[in-house]
Amino acid sequence: MIAILQRVREARVEVAGPVNSRVTGQIGPGFLMLVCAEPGDTEAVAEKLIQKVLKLRVFSDEAGKMNRSVQDVGGGLLIVSQFTLAADTSGGNRPSFTGAAPAELGRRLYEHCLSFARSQHPLVQSGEFGADMQVHLVNDGPVTIPLRMT
């Protein structure tokens, strides 16, 4: 699985509707996590990714050092599916997304990420798999961390 973590002061996801948009997830300080499943991924890989995210120490302690996890600071986790993280641009100017998991597997692993994260952390919000979403965030730092789990 591929993920991009952004430490945020706040973030929200809106899904476009026929008349207007609706907010599907919103957090204050914490992580915006963009996630993409790849063809060989499993539920165990998804759980390993969530465990890493929850323990990653990139929040400041009293001395201003990045020494605390999202769990330590009581931050939120906003998880958004984003198959474009698997983009391959080596063949030209139009990206190929064949590196992303098929939709059925992608949905299953995204839902598993959400379920597992909610079992491990009290504040987990989400986007909507396969939807046209607008992601609003205030990046904190900025701190942006790419992750890949196999």
User: Considering the domain boundaries, does residue 66 fall inside one?
Assistant: yes
pLDDT tens by residue, 24-55 = 999 999 999 999 999 999 999 999 999 999 99
User: Considering the domain boundaries, does residue 148 fall inside one?
Assistant: no
Domain CATH number, residue 69: 3.50.80.10
Note if 83 is an active site residue. Answer: yes
CA distances from 125 to 6, 18, 88, 111, 116 (A): 15, 23, 29, 12, 12
Catalytic-labelled residue, pool 6, 83, 116, 125: 83
User: Considering the domain boundaries, does residue 149 fall inside one?
Assistant: no
String of b and e for 44-61 (b: at least 16 CB within 10 Å)?
ebbbebbeebbebebbbe
Catalytic-labelled residue, pool 84, 98, 134, 144: 84
Nearest to 48 by CA among 113, 94, 104: 113
Q: List per-block mean pLDDT (blocks of 10 residues) for the chain, which spans 150 residues.
A: 98 88 96 98 98 97 96 98 95 94 97 98 96 95 95
Cβ-based neighbour number of residue 138 at 10 Å: 13
User: Considering the domain boundaries, does residue 39 fall inside one?
Assistant: yes
Nearest to 115 by CA among 102, 131, 129, 101: 129
User: Considering the domain boundaries, does residue 18 fall inside one?
Assistant: yes
Nearest to 35 by CA among 90, 120, 107, 93: 107
User: Considering the domain boundaries, does residue 60 fall inside one?
Assistant: yes
Nearest to 25 by CA among 47, 10, 41: 10
User: Considering the domain boundaries, does residue 146 fall inside one?
Assistant: no
Q: What φ, ψ does residue 99 adopt, rounded to 5°?
A: -75, -10
pTM, full prediction = 0.94
Are the beta carbons of 80 and 36 closer than 8 angstroms? no
What gap in Å lies between CA 29 and CA 25, rounded to an integer? 13
On average, the pLDDT of the chain sits at 96
Domain range for 63: 2-141
User: Considering the domain boundaries, does residue 150 fall inside one?
Assistant: no
What gap in Å lies between CA 24 and CA 79, rounded to an integer? 11
Note if 82 is an active site residue. Answer: yes
Catalytic-labelled residue, pool 6, 82, 116, 125: 82
Total domain count for the chain?
1
